[in-house]
Chains A and B, each alone.
Chain A
Amino acid sequence: MREPREPARPLPASAPAARVVVRDLVVRFGGTVAVDHLDLDLEPGSFTALLGPSGCGKSTTLGVLAGLQRPDAGSVTIDDVAVLDDPPERRPVGLVLQKPLLFPHLDVARNVGFGLRMAGASRAHERAEVAHMLRRVRLDDLGRRRPHELSGGQEQRVSLARALLRRPRVLLLDEPFSQLDPELRSEMRTLVRRLHDELGVTTLFVTHDRDEAVDVADQVVVLDRGRVVGGGTPEEVYTRPATLATARYFGPVNELSGQVDDGRFTSPDGTLAVPTDAASGPAVLVVRPEALSLSTGAATAHDVAVAVKEVRFAGTHIVVDTALADGTPLRAHLPVGSPVVPGATARLLLPPERCHVLGAQR
């Protein structure tokens, strides 16, 4: 191989993680709005999952960050530098897509070293860095292999190594493991998380799989129809979602309509009273099925009388479908062997600290 034509631009051994700020981003495809006035903040070194159903604009947002998609409006800055006018090759960004997109005419080592070669690194430097990176993704011995000789998981690890070798300051992952089988996926998540922790690169992980998002990320941003509908730590979006859409996206949730007055949520029949800081007015109380428990003592303001409709065994717990007097369904996950039988009545306890009240304006 010839020497590179451009003078060597040495890359820093470990580039500092970058802060990414997206403001008021709009992307339209013809008449449809794919991304609708989106704001996004990625702290330096954070690991954020961009979560949402397919077609919610998450991949488009990623494409804008990587420079593969031009937005119609808005701004993107990486460490306070506006990057929207930069072509992809000039952005400090690494990208791994659903397809590994390895170059079929190059072996694994040459694939991984591609970014360094393009940056004008010397052959010796490239070889050393590639060997180091292949060890990090545990593919030490596969440098001479051709892409078509690899398994799906190996291909995706090569793709990851290739993206990271350039020492990007932002790593963008677009459903990178969705074509792998479940066991391999969790292994790959662990690998990505470990690489993130070692390299400290600001990471944005696009997925439609909430378990994946919760498992791997520090921060979750939920997208729906091109808008941010919720965000926070995985625990926050799960237990205290900002919107009903977010609550529903994170699995089965009970929804009780009611009224907030003076920092207190009350159900229409007045039996339930939960303190809240939501504004006064009509509101919805959301609570996860596993937060509920059977109430055995005297009636309080935190429990409700229900009619048990159906009981199903689910391995670690039983799923109990009940209804309030007004017909509102209420589902509880109770310990196996709990004394509930279909057709009977029971009292369910809604612990106030695990209830979350959403103002009705949402």
Chain B
Amino acid sequence: MTRSPWRGAAVAVVAVVTLLPMVPVVLWAVAGAWRYPDLLPPETSLRGLRLLAGDGVLGALGTSVLVSTSVALLACLVGLPAGRALGLHRFRGRRLVQFLLLAPIIVPPLAVTLGLQVFFVRYGLADTVGGVVLVQLVPTVPYAASLLAAAHADLDTDHERAARVLGAGPVRTLLHVSLPLLRPALVTAFLLTFLISWSEYVLTLLVGGGRVTTLPLLLFSAIESSDRTAAAALGLLVVLPPVLLVLALTRVAGRDVAWVGVSRA
């Protein structure tokens, strides 16, 4: 690749646009009293950061990690066969299936969930972590399936046939050949669905009934109570895990993850 002066400029612009909004958040998180017309907080306070060490916050962090990881894994698990069917086969009604698969993200998920909630209550899934994971599959599976359908369209299934003739049964062919070939798409799908789940608020509140407390729930209640220091501190905590995850997966998957390519610039 040729080095262009524009590239450095582009990286700088991206960095500024991404990082600049974080500055007031960081300031708020460590601010004591901070009023107009002070440009910077006149005094610092550890109240916000101490708040993060509290019981409720750590519990919410754990719940968030559990829910989002489960949602991302399940979305990939469900999206894989769906993506395979859509990406590899031309069958009657394929476009209809494709549309139905995308419908949950075309129709606002809130509307879908209001209808679904009745069933969650009936089957005892309301107010449970399992129920929250299940309902978050609604806005995540469409993305996972679409991504994996595109990946399957590029997959050379002759590799799978070659594996079969080399003595690998269907399961081992999947594990040793198909999944490794689909790894870039799987990593991307996992990241994307994890991030969607990570910032999900409405669905968690509706099905979790306030008993399943994830970080976004805490964040929203802090914002509602106008406690800017608490909101800013929680905001930092919400940002951190996804950033770490993206960095870790980019390191693992290397150049595979195309859409976070900026970090490799």
The interface of chain A, by Cβ under 8 A from chain B, is: 66-68, 87-89, 91, 93-95, 97, 99, 101, 103-105, 114-115, 118-119, 162-163, 166
Q: How far is it, in angstroms, between the C-alpha of A68 and the C-alpha of B157 when the chains are bound?
A: 12
Residues on B with beta carbons closer than 8 Å to the beta carbon of A162: 166
5 sample A-B contacts, Cβ–Cβ < 8 Å, listed by A number: A89-B165, A97-B162, A101-B158, A118-B163, A118-B166
A116 to chain B, nearest CB (A): 9
* Inter-subunit contact A95/B165 (CB<8 Å): yes
Q: How far is it, in angstroms, between the C-alpha of A208 and the C-alpha of B167 when the chains are bound?
A: 28
Residues on B with beta carbons closer than 8 Å to the beta carbon of A99: 156, 158
* Inter-subunit contact A103/B165 (CB<8 Å): no
* Inter-subunit contact B167/A68 (CB<8 Å): no
Q: How far is it, in angstroms, between the C-alpha of A98 and the C-alpha of B159 when the chains are bound?
A: 12
B169 at the interface (CB under 8 A from A): yes
* Inter-subunit contact B165/A88 (CB<8 Å): yes
Residues on A with beta carbons closer than 8 Å to the beta carbon of B183: 105
* Inter-subunit contact A163/B164 (CB<8 Å): no
| A-B contacts, CB under 8 A, total | 57
* Inter-subunit contact A115/B167 (CB<8 Å): yes
A360 to chain B, nearest CB (A): 44
The interface of chain B, by Cβ under 8 A from chain A, is: 156, 158-159, 161-169, 172, 176-177, 180-181, 183
Q: Provided the pairs A101-B159, A103-B159 are in contact, do residues A94 and B180 lie with their beta carbons within 8 angstroms?
A: no
Q: How far is it, in angstroms, between the C-alpha of A101 and the C-alpha of B168 when the chains are bound?
A: 15
* Inter-subunit contact B165/A119 (CB<8 Å): no
* Inter-subunit contact B166/A114 (CB<8 Å): yes
* Inter-subunit contact B162/A101 (CB<8 Å): yes
Q: Provided the pairs A89-B168, A89-B169, A118-B167 are in contact, do residues A95 and B162 lie with their beta carbons within 8 angstroms?
A: yes
B159 to chain A, nearest CB (A): 6
Interface of chain B, main secondary structure: helix
Additional A-B contact list (17), CB under 8 Å, known A105-B181, A166-B167: A67-B164, A67-B165, A88-B161, A89-B166, A89-B169, A94-B165, A95-B165, A99-B156, A101-B159, A103-B163, A103-B177, A103-B180, A105-B183, A114-B176, A118-B163, A119-B167, A163-B166
Residues on A with beta carbons closer than 8 Å to the beta carbon of B180: 103, 105
Find the residue from B158, B165, B181 having the highest chain A CB count within 10 A.
B165
Find the residue from B156, B158, B162, B164 having the highest chain A CB count within 10 A.
B162
Q: How far is it, in angstroms, between the C-alpha of A68 and the C-alpha of B163 when the chains are bound?
A: 11
Residues on A with beta carbons closer than 8 Å to the beta carbon of B172: 118
A97 to chain B, nearest CB (A): 7
B38 to chain A, nearest CB (A): 57
Residues on A with beta carbons closer than 8 Å to the beta carbon of B167: 89, 115, 118-119, 166
* Inter-subunit contact B168/A118 (CB<8 Å): yes
Residues on A with beta carbons closer than 8 Å to the beta carbon of B165: 66-68, 88-89, 91, 93-95, 163
Q: Provided the pairs A99-B158, A101-B156 are in contact, do residues A68 and B177 lie with their beta carbons within 8 angstroms?
A: no
* Inter-subunit contact A115/B166 (CB<8 Å): yes
Residues on B with beta carbons closer than 8 Å to the beta carbon of A166: 166-167
B182 to chain A, nearest CB (A): 10
B65 to chain A, nearest CB (A): 28
Q: How far is it, in angstroms, between the C-alpha of A95 and the C-alpha of B164 when the chains are bound?
A: 10
Residues on B with beta carbons closer than 8 Å to the beta carbon of A163: 165-166
Residues on B with beta carbons closer than 8 Å to the beta carbon of A66: 165
Residues on B with beta carbons closer than 8 Å to the beta carbon of A88: 161, 164-165
Residues on A with beta carbons closer than 8 Å to the beta carbon of B162: 95, 97, 101
Residues on B with beta carbons closer than 8 Å to the beta carbon of A101: 156, 158-159, 162
Residues on A with beta carbons closer than 8 Å to the beta carbon of B168: 89, 114, 118
Q: How far is it, in angstroms, between the C-alpha of A103 and the C-alpha of B156 when the chains are bound?
A: 10
